[in-house]
Amino acid sequence: MNVILLSMAIAILLSLGLVISLGGLSLLSGTMEFFFGGPKVEFLKSTLGDTGFAFGFKWNDEKEPAKFDQIKLRLFNPFGDPTQVEVTQHFAPQGKTFSMDLDFGAGLRTLLKARGFKSALIQVEISSTKSGIFHQFDMRGHGFIKKLEAATLTANDFNDQFKEGKSKPIYFQTKRTFIADPVPSSNKKLKIATNPEFAGDFAGAGGGAAASVENFAVSKVWIEPGCIVCDACEGIYPEVFEVLEDTCIIRPDAPLHDGLKIEESAEACPVEVIKYTKA
Ligand code: SF4
């Protein structure tokens, strides 16, 4: 009897111990997340003089996949003058850890030189206007100044250290190699859609006909959605194509006279999103 009671007591104690440990662990991870996992703003050294403000912003972009594009600096100064100042700057949407060095103009000077600034409340608000997400960091004026004075990294230094590089799919392109002998000289026109220079190489001594592939101008060239930023088009015709972080664009002053090169880029595009119309 005693043995049964003792076993039951041990089992209950073990279960209680397990529940308490699990609760403790969950609380601990919540606390860790609260203190160390939240978004962080870091003050940086601006290179834009007394109207510039530079900052770095880190957050958990997996839990909060927003693109941040706006910063506001607010001064709440009920016992000083002026009593309230707000300056805002917009920037290109950023989806990962990033830094910015922005010129806020005379408004920032007014904010920093406010009478009573040191004891005023300063709010740094970084937001995603599209997703409606706001992160606010409050501090007193003296704390704000202290952080500014302690900043040693510039926005570029911060990006070098923390910004994740542009992640592109690894893409291997086979080099143009020619195994066969040059095509013998003939009057037959080669139907290869590429530029005359390349066609000439391909055809070797017999490339006269191929090299005579006529070039043409295009009236319009554009990129449809779906670019996988593989760089192939920019490698072929950098004057026309510019590959950005997450897509490819047509340069504003792109020359449109070399249709063969544009056609070659379109053919090299693995997802066939380069389109054009002949002039
Ligand atoms: S447009 Fe096509 S070729 Fe150019 S980068 Fe995008 S996927 Fe690559």
- Count, in order, helices (H) and strands (E) of the chain: 8, 11
Q: Is the CB of 233 under 6 A from ligand 1?
A: yes
Check residue 11 and report its DSSP letter. H
Please report, as a single letter, which amino acid is at residue 97. T
Chain centre distance of CA 14: 50
Residue nearest to atom 3 of ligand 1 (CA): 269
Tell me the CA end-to-end span of the chain in Å, nearest whole number.
99
Residue nearest to atom 2 of ligand 1 (CA): 269
C-alpha 30/C-alpha 38 separation (Å) is: 11
C-alpha 24/C-alpha 55 separation (Å) is: 36
In a 3-state reduction of DSSP, which class is residue 133? strand
Domains of the chain: 40-162 (2.60.40), 196-278 (3.30.70.20)
User: To test the ligand 1 pocket, which listed residue (172, 247, 248) has its Cβ within 8 A of the most ligand atoms?
Assistant: 248
In a 3-state reduction of DSSP, which class is residue 149? helix
Radius of gyration of the chain (CA): 31
- Residue in the structure block whose two tokens are 């999103």: 273
From first to last of the 279 residues of the chain, give the pLDDT tens digit: 566 777 777 777 877 766 666 555 545 544 544 444 589 999 999 999 899 999 999 988 888 888 899 999 999 999 889 999 999 999 988 888 899 999 998 999 999 999 999 999 999 999 998 888 899 999 999 999 999 999 999 998 998 888 755 445 555 555 555 555 555 555 544 444 445 555 555 554 444 444 567 899 999 999 999 999 898 999 999 999 999 888 999 999 899 999 999 999 999 998 999 999 998
Q: Is the CB of 249 under 6 A from ligand 1?
A: no
| DSSP string for 219-248 | EEEEE-S------HHHHH-TTTEEE-SS-E
- Residue in the structure block whose two tokens are 């195994």: 179
pTM of the model: 0.49
Q: Is the CB of 223 under 6 A from ligand 1?
A: yes
